[in-house]
């Protein structure tokens, strides 16, 4: 009797296995001719050790770049180290993982419990920031493969009109905020998806991104570092950290003589001129402006909050599930047939519409919570940027703008004192 | 104290405060994140039991010939003469003619073993990961053909672009040590 139950249980167990593990409609044959199963063609993924070699290389490259920008002050060495980073991080390791993209992993980890952050990604996010606190944007100068490919191809610098430059330089803030919003809601990794250079590193990729990448690379010959200046979201973080960096690259190795020779040397508009030789706005006028912008600051911030909140449902359409739910709702209510591959798969999967709509609502709720923060941040940055334009500091020397300066060292050889010191050596 | 020095002191103070204002949140962020961190690395892989063979693996991979390839669980295969993964539906003949094959790139080799069994192997050089054979095999056969991401081809993007569009959410991050979801539990030899 007991045995019978056991057999039944065994039968159910085997049957269940067949039910789960595919349909064993035809029994496994027994070969008489001594046929052996062929070998699997399997290669294990590249060893995880490589990720830590990457971290080590990043550390070495950053240390060397710091030395080249602050101590030996050699543009040639900086170019060499960029070329190495381009070859190693770009063409050899094919651009993944990079610090720029790691922002999204960090956002995903902070707001989702299901995702475990690999240690190497965390290090890739933090190490460049730590170097920036200490020494300015060394990462942009020497370690970033995207920066390197643009630095090496930026041969004929052309200056953009100031208004165009200012308007375009707000794009990275929007890009940063959206990429964090989409990553935190587990919707999309837009930085990776629209990375223009990764296709070039891999010599392979979707045609639209390849075309975008090549166009950007060609335009970068004249408008230097277009991605860094007008798109890079990691640059926004480094920009703000770099403003408070302990040490930073200087144009001159000694006291500035205000010779004005370096004035036009920077293609990135990152040199703040000294005001010994030019007229300044009157103190009263700039104070008035300061007060107006200070009052405007909270207004712009609140405006940003409400502005982006209005678009929370539109932004949520980036999420695949929200799109699917919308399509199926249209089908249900207006009888427009849902024919997308997602909808077809959903119908075959046997999950219920209620479940999907519930999930959709949860995702929408996260967007509703996230967008005010995103909008507030955008408004606050805009307000602060306006406020900072009114602060007139007395300057008696030509200095790099610590936020914008990529520590590329282009200005070194324009400085007569630097050249003199080189000759003395 | 000269005027310049007075300003310099103020500037230094602002810089110091700013530095701490930047460093402290980053230190806190690092502390928060380290608790959710593991030394384990992850790679992308298809769960063959979730896969619906929609065909997006062929077109959505960043590699122009997709890193997704068809694999064959030999120990599950029925070794049928009339293979629904190899032959188009409703064909009258059963031979290796290209017009009879389901595979658009003729990546499946059919070889005779003994009556009535035929062996099917995949030529991964030719396979484009479209999953037509997988669908055929799942519909009428033992479901021994299935799709997997081959790690020698995969560049391990931060977010797999097939995973982003996969309608069945079949592509997920798996630990580096268990990089394949093999249907018949085959363990690759340690190298």
- In tens, the pLDDT along A160-209 reads 898 999 999 999 999 999 999 999 999 999 999 999 999 999 888 888 89
pLDDT value for A414: 93
d(CA B68, CA B147): 6
Q: Are residues A76 and A197 in the same domain?
A: yes
Return the residue in B159, B166, B176 with the most chain A beta carbons within 10 A, the one to mutate for interface testing.
Answer: B159
CA of B141 vs chain A CAs: smallest distance (Å): 6
| Nearest CB to B151; choose among A45, A202, A342 | A45
A246 has a chain B CB within 8 A of its CB: yes
- Report yes or no on B126 lying in a domain: yes
Q: Which domain holds residue B5?
A: 1-37
Burial class (CB in 10 A: 0-12, 13-18, 19+), A333: exposed
Q: Are residues A309 and A184 in the same domain?
A: no
pLDDT value for B46: 94
Is B32's CB within 8 Å of A320's CB? no
pLDDT value for A381: 94
pLDDT value for B189: 47
Q: Are residues B57 and B5 in the same domain?
A: no
CA of A297 vs chain B CAs: smallest distance (Å): 19
Is B142's CB within 8 Å of A24's CB? yes
A342 has a chain B CB within 8 A of its CB: yes
Cβ(A409)–Cβ(A78) below 8 Å: yes
- Give the chain A residue whose CA is nearest to the CA of B144: A22
pLDDT value for A296: 94
Is A45's CB within 8 Å of B179's CB? yes
B87 DSSP assignment: B
pLDDT in tens, B114-129: 888 899 999 989 999 9
Q: Which domain holds residue A343?
A: 283-389
Q: Are residues A291 and A254 in the same domain?
A: no
Q: Are residues A372 and A269 in the same domain?
A: no
pLDDT value for A349: 83
Give chain B's domain count. 2
CA of A418 vs chain B CAs: smallest distance (Å): 24
Q: How high is the mean pLDDT of chain B?
A: 87
Average pLDDT along chain A, 425 residues, taken 10 residues at a time:
65 54 71 78 79 94 95 94 95 89 94 89 94 94 94 91 91 96 93 92 88 94 94 95 91 90 90 78 83 94 95 93 92 87 87 92 95 96 90 84 93 92 85
d(CA A233, CA A377): 14
- Which parts of chain B have pLDDT scores under 70? 1-6, 185-191
- Report yes or no on A22 lying in a domain: no
Q: Are residues A257 and A327 in the same domain?
A: no
pLDDT value for A37: 81
d(CA A176, CA A239): 13
A245 preceded by cis ω (within 30°)?
no
The CATH number covering residue B164 comes to 3.30.70
d(CA A88, CA A367): 38
- Report yes or no on B133 lying in a domain: yes
Is B41's CB within 8 Å of A241's CB? no
Which residues of chain A make contact with B155, given a CB cutoff of 8 A? Answer: 94, 96, 202
- Report yes or no on B48 lying in a domain: yes
- Report yes or no on A174 lying in a domain: yes
Q: Are residues A326 and A409 in the same domain?
A: no
Give chain A's domain count. 2
Q: Are residues B68 and B158 in the same domain?
A: yes
Q: How many helices (H) and strands (E) does chain B have?
A: 4, 7
Strands (E) located in B25-143: 37-38, 42-46, 68-72, 108-114, 117-122
- Report yes or no on B8 lying in a domain: yes
pLDDT value for A63: 96
Burial class (CB in 10 A: 0-12, 13-18, 19+), A71: exposed
Strands (E) located in B1-158: 37-38, 42-46, 68-72, 108-114, 117-122, 145-149
Q: Are residues A320 and A403 in the same domain?
A: no
| Nearest CB to A243; choose among B18, B36, B40 | B18
d(CA A193, CA A231): 13
């Amino acid at each position: 009797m007991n045995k019978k139950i056991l057999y039944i249980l065994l039968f159910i167990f085997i049957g269940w296995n067949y039910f789960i593990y595919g349909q064993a409609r035809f029994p496994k044959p027994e070969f008489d001719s001594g046929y052996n199963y062929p070998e699997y063609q399997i290669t294990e993924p590249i060893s995880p050790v490589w990720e830590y070699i990457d971290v080590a290389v990043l550390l070495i490259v950053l240390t060397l770049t710091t030395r080249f920008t602050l101590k030996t002050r050699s543009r040639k060495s900086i170019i060499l180290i960029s070329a190495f980073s381009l070859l190693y991080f770009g063409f050899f390791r094919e651009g993944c993982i990079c610090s720029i993209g790691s922002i999204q992993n960090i956002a995903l980890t902070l707001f989702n419990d299901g995702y475990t952050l690999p240690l190497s990604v965390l290090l890739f996010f933090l190490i460049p920031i730590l170097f920036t606190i200490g020494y300015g944007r060394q990462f942009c100068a020497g370690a970033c493969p995207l920066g390197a490919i643009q630095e090496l191809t930026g041969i004929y610098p052309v200056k953009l009109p100031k208004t165009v430059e200012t308007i375009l330089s707000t794009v990275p803030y929007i890009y940063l905020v959206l990429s964090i919003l989409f990553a935190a809601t587990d919707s999309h990794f837009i930085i990776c998806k629209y990375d223009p250079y990764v296709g070039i590193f891999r010599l392979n990729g979707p045609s639209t991104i390849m075309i975008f990448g090549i166009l950007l690379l060609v335009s970068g010959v004249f408008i230097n570092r277009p991605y860094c200046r007008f798109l890079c979201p990691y640059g926004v973080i480094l920009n703000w950290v770099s403003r408070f960096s302990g040490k930073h690259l200087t144009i001159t190795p000694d006291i500035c003589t205000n010779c004005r020779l370096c004035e036009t040397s920077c293609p990135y508009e990152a040199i703040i001129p000294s005001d010994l030789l030019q007229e300044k706005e009157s103190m009263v006028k700039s104070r008035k402006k300061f007060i107006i912008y200070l009052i405007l600051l909270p207004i712009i911030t609140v405006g940003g909050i409400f502005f982006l909140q209005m678009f929370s449902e539109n932004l949520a359409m980036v999420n695949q599930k929200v799109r699917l739910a919308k399509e199926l709702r249209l089908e249900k209510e207006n009888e427009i047939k849902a024919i997308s591959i997602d909808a077809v798969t959903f119908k075959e999967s046997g999950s219920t519409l209620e479940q999907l709509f519930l999930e959709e609502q949860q995702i929408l709720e996260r967007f509703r919570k996230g967008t005010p923060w995103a909008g507030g941040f955008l408004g606050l940055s805009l307000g602060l940027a306006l406020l900072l334009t009114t602060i007139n500091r007395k300057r008696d020397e030509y200095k790099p703008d610590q936020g914008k300066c990529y520590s590329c060292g282009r200005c070194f050889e324009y400085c007569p004192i630097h050249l003199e010191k080189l000759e003395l050596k | 104290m000269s005027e310049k020095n007075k300003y310099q002191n103020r500037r230094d103070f602002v810089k110091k405060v700013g530095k701490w204002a930047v460093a402290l949140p980053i230190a806190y962020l690092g502390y928060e994140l380290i608790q959710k961190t593991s030394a384990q690395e992850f790679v992308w892989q298809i769960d063959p039991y979730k896969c619906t063979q929609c065909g997006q693996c062929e077109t959505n991979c960043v590699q122009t010939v997709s890193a997704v390839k068809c694999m064959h669980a030999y120990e599950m295969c029925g070794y049928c003469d009339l293979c629904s993964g190899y032959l188009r539906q409703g064909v009258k003949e059963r031979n290796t003619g290209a017009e009879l094959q389901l595979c658009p790139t003729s990546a499946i080799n059919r070889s005779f073993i003994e009556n009535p069994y035929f062996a099917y192997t995949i030529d991964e050089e030719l396979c484009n990961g479209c999953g037509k054979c997988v669908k055929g095999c799942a519909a009428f056969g033992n479901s021994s053909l299935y799709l997997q991401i081959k790690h020698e081809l995969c560049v391990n993007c931060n977010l797999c672009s097939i995973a982003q569009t996969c309608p069945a959410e079949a592509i997920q991050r798996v630990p580096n040590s268990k990089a394949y979801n093999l249907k018949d539990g085959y363990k690759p030899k340690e190298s």
